[in-house]
């Protein structure tokens, strides 16, 4: 099986956002960072801020992930950014495999393809954020050789 990373069309971008922005909002609520009532609006604002020109936003690339038959297995959103030391790195804003296609190795394939591309581009590293409660994704990243560079912690206070 071979994965193909296809640049998203505008229609696919709209479908991706409709599907994934509410999910991101939910993750923020679950992690205790945003109140449920405001989460969707906050998520929409965050994504709009990151992608002010949508698919045409410089240095951001959004892909659909497709299997050998061209079927949609997921989405990948990656950007190329300078690190504090000036080195250019890839940053994965989002990777999602459709629920019915998980544990088939597609995310591993997507990261293998991304890593090869990043090496060709001369990038120094691939970075990403993962929610602490996302044990599946953390297991994936550890298996792929990612290590935690910082851990942000939070303790909810009564009444807050």
Ligand X SMILES: CC(C)(COP(=O)(O)OP(=O)(O)OC[C@H]1O[C@@H](n2cnc3c(N)ncnc32)[C@H](O)[C@@H]1OP(=O)(O)O)[C@@H](O)C(=O)NCCC(=O)NCCS
- For ligand X, the binding residues (CB under 6 A) are 95-97, 102-108, 130, 134, 136-137, 139-140, 143
Instruction: Say which DSSP state 61 is in.
Output: E
Nearer to ligand X, 54 or 127 (CB): 127
Q: Is the Cβ of residue 13 or residue 75 nearer to ligand X in the bound state?
A: 75
Q: Which is nearer to ligand X, 65 or 118 (CB)?
A: 65
- Scanning 8-134, the segments in alpha helix (DSSP H) are 10-30, 36-50, 106-120
Kindly state the smallest distance separating residue 3's Cβ from ligand X, in Å.
10
Q: Name the minimum Å distance from CB 24 to ligand X.
A: 9
Residue 126 to residue 143: CA distance in whole angstroms = 14
| Complex with ligand X: residue 31 or 44, whichever CB lies closer | 31
Smallest gap from residue 62 Cβ to ligand X (A): 14
């Amino acid at each position: 099986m071979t994965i193909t990373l296809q640049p998203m069309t505008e229609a696919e971008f709209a479908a991706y956002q409709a599907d994934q922005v509410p999910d991101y909002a939910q993750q923020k609520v679950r992690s205790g960072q945003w109140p449920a009532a405001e989460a969707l609006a906050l998520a929409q604002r965050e994504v709009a801020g990151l992608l002010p020109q949508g698919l045409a936003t410089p240095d951001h690339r959004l892909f659909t992930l497709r299997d050998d038959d061209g079927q949609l297995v997921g989405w990948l959103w990656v950007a190329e950014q300078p690190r504090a030391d000036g080195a250019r790195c890839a940053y994965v804003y989002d990777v999602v495999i459709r629920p019915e296609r998980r544990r088939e190795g597609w995310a591993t394939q997507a990261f293998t393809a991304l890593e090869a591309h990043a090496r060709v581009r001369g990038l120094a590293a691939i970075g990403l954020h993962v929610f602490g409660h996302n044990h599946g994704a953390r297991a994936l990243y550890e298996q792929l050789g990612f290590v935690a560079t910082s851990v942000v912690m939070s303790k909810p206070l009564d009444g807050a």
